[in-house]
Chains A and B, each alone.
Chain A
Amino acid sequence: MSSTARDRIFARLHAARTTVSPYVPQGGTWQAPMLDKAQRIELLKKRMETVRSEVHVLPEAEWPAKLAELLKAREATTLTYGHDAWFGGTLRSKIKGKGMPKLVPYGENVEAFRDELFGIDVGITSTLGGIAENGTLIVWPTPQEPRLLSLVPTVHVALLKADTIYSTLAEAMREMRWAENMPTNALLISGPSKTADIEMTLAFGVHGPKELIVLVLE
């Protein structure tokens, strides 16, 4: 059998080992500061707001009322979410009636739901945590809350529990044991979709959400 591209590439890579002396890594010196809980919330909010995310810190019980207010202001007509997400039941009982959008659960495979999804105004998701240093949400989509919920609708609303905010990405990776259980798709989201490809002028919502609204629940 003739050798494959893979064999030939690896033959060269292994041969290269013998021509270059080993490298002793330096490094391991940089660490962003660790913060207490109040500082973490404050920094996350500040970082997210500088890239035009909207952040509201509020007691957990108040999120449905806040959401209703935000939806009303935007005159949203459709909202998609994961039916079995932890907040699903509350959402169904609180977000209804006049002026409230129609709730459309993401309950089918994307092949069947795609065309409808691309026309929906708002997507709401839970988050696994936040990262203060960069103003970031940790979102690991699940069968209950699929990947496109946080990407396709015009507005993305994220619910973030205040005590799941980490100081740094390194800390989050360690504490959540990423290395042992990487999901199909792990996302770090730090703002609405944006671009500066034309004359370096910042514009929001080029492909994904035009707005990111974060409700930090204390």
Chain B
Amino acid sequence: MGSQHLDFTANVTEALADRQLRANFKSALTGLMKKRVAVLPDAAERERMRDDAEAAKRKALAKLPELLERLERKCTENGIIVHWAETTAEANEIILGIMRSHDATKLVKGKSMVSEEMHLNHFLETHGMEALETDLGEFIIQLNHEPPSHIIVPAVHKNRQQVGRIFADNLEGIPYTDVVEELNAIARKTLREKFRTGHVGLSGVNFAVAETGTLVLVENEGNGRMCTTVPPVHVAVMGLEKVVESLSDLPPLLRLLTASATGQLVTTYVNCITSPRKDGERDGPKEIHLVILDNGRSRMLADAQLRRTLQCIRCGTCLNHCPVYIRIGGHAYGSVYPGPIGKILTPQIDGLADKGVLATASSLCNACEEVCPVRIPIPGIIRRMRTEAYDEKGDGVVKGHGAKKNLLETLVWKGWELTYRIPALNRFVVSMLGRFGDKLPNVGPLKAWTSVRTAPRFAPKSLHQLAKEEGIRHE
């Protein structure tokens, strides 16, 4: 993906025609929405939690350089080796280098959206390494050579029959079954063997605590703990916005992340990692590396509105509540981060020229902002993406600003402006539209617009005219 060409319209048309896909998404997401409300029943309490969670993230962004320096210092004191990567290519090289220095060929991976952003699996495979996803959902789609369609439940677009077929077709000696318990048992057996024999474990990071140099990972399955405990080397990757100041910031963030992501009170495991194996300890990795990735994030920080994108804790609830995402699913976005957060994050990372179109897929209904646990003003930033895509004066800040600007649209808006500035022109245009408006040729943008809408009929007389005839006076 990356800056690959994205034919969003074609993707959307295809997704909308797939009834199975729409049914799979609808049932899963409706369930998640209900569970979220059930676990946050008291609206006043929920808002207090959001106050705290939002404050924790905004406070961290306000002193990001200090906190990252502190995190680096603490981690280094604790024996964790810290690496910095400006681009995903650099981050990939760092990880490949770590694997090579240990003569490792097998990587077992816990769920990490940043590693998806890096296209790490593909990169490692082209260098002869095995990179195996171990989160059940990620495992399923990796077998089927697909990217995730949701940031929390990556295989949400598959039903049990489809999963059964994927297992039977791709795993040796496994007969078809569509019993969920049996499918889980197959994954357990296959993956435990991989944990036992993996050379390097990779994980993401949910929160990195500057105060103590602690990496906090939340999960339900236990594969994250496996990846960060069984292999002799652990590599954690994080975007630089994951740092928080202190442990006391965690309780509201953990509560809301879990409630928003899966509608649970708490995840099965909160795994806080502060150092590699110490003398006398019997397990845990002997070496831990932390790769901190920028990839456009420091640019977002420089703008008061855009930096709020960096508050995101990747809970996925804006996806679940988005009327567009529910209908088209995750793959149509052709990007690692789909849904509302993707509409603001992807164009900022990949540029408006390639991904600006994503920001058009919103009715600005505000559902995402209403549910976002850290209160990111997503619709406002979507509008910002749209504006910057057409940015006239060239003073936008997002990569590729002004990319959508074109002569026809510029002329149309100029005409519009003049029509409202010059009364005589206004009278002329209005009367012409009243007479010939319904006969406008159905081509170009007009045709596209009316393909799914009924064209409005122009009234023969304008409001001004009618008012005048009724004798209503105005200044």
Contacts and interface: CB of A to CB of B under 8 A. Distances in A.
Interface of A: 4-6, 8-10, 12-17, 19-23, 25-30, 47, 51, 106-111, 113-115, 118, 134-136, 141-143, 146-148, 151, 168-170, 173-174, 178-179, 182-201, 203, 205-209
27 contacts: A10-B68, A12-B298, A12-B302, A13-B298, A16-B307, A23-B59, A23-B61, A25-B59, A27-B51, A28-B55, A30-B48, A109-B282, A169-B250, A170-B251, A182-B274, A187-B270, A191-B268, A193-B222, A197-B154, A198-B136, A199-B28, A199-B180, A200-B32, A201-B160, A201-B180, A203-B181, A207-B134
Given A9-B294, A196-B153, A208 B247 contact: no
Contacts of B153: 196-197, 200
Interface in B267-321: 267-278, 280-284, 294, 298-299, 301-304, 307
Contacts of B298: 9, 12-13, 16
A173 B212 CA distance: 13
Contact of A147 (B155, B229, B232): B229
Contact of B90 (A5, A15, A17, A136): A5
B65 A206 contact: no
Interface of B: 24, 27-28, 31-32, 45, 48-49, 51-56, 58-59, 61-62, 64-65, 68-69, 84-86, 90, 134-137, 140, 153-156, 158-160, 163, 180-181, 183-184, 187-188, 191-192, 195-196, 211-212, 214, 220-223, 225-226, 229-230, 232, 240, 246-248, 250-252, 254-255, 262, 264-278, 280-284, 294, 298-299, 301-304, 307
Contacts of B136: 195, 197-198, 206
Given A25-B58, A187-B270, A198-B136, 5 more contacts: A179-B211, A184-B274, A188-B266, A193-B222, A207-B221
A23 B86 contact: no
Given A20-B303, A20-B307, A178-B247, A185 B273 contact: yes
A151 B222 contact: yes
Interface of A is mostly: loop
Nearest to B212: A182
B282 A108 contact: yes
Contacts of A47: 265-266
Nearest to B222: A208
A122 B322 CA distance: 44
Contact of B188 (A9, A135, A207): A207
Contacts of B85: 5
A143 B56 CA distance: 34
A19 B226 CA distance: 43
A112 to B, nearest CB: 9
Contacts of B281: 141-143, 146, 184
Contacts of A201: 160, 180
Contacts of A114: 196, 230
A208 B219 CA distance: 11
Contacts of B154: 197
A16 to B, nearest CB: 4
A30 B221 contact: no
A209 B220 CA distance: 11
A143 B357 CA distance: 54
A32 to B, nearest CB: 8
Contacts, number: 257
Contacts of B156: 200
A12 B266 contact: no
Q: Which 6 residue pairs of A and B lie closest in terms of their CB atoms, listed nearest first?
A: A27-B55, A208-B222, A197-B137, A110-B283, A12-B298, A134-B266
B229 A148 contact: yes
A14 B54 CA distance: 22
B112 to A, nearest CB: 16
Given A186-B274, A207-B226, A173 B180 contact: no
A5 B223 CA distance: 32
A57 B136 CA distance: 34
A146 B285 CA distance: 12
Contacts of A185: 229, 271-274, 284
B45 A30 contact: yes
B191 A207 contact: yes
B140 A197 contact: yes
Nearest to B69: A10
A140 to B, nearest CB: 9
Contacts of A30: 45, 48-49, 51-52, 252
Contacts of A207: 134, 188, 191-192, 195, 221-223, 226
Contacts of A51: 264, 268
Contact of A21 (B48, B294, B304): B304
B422 to A, nearest CB: 40
A4 B82 CA distance: 14
A142 B183 CA distance: 35
Contact of B283 (A15, A23, A148): A148
A170 B247 CA distance: 9
A112 B252 CA distance: 41
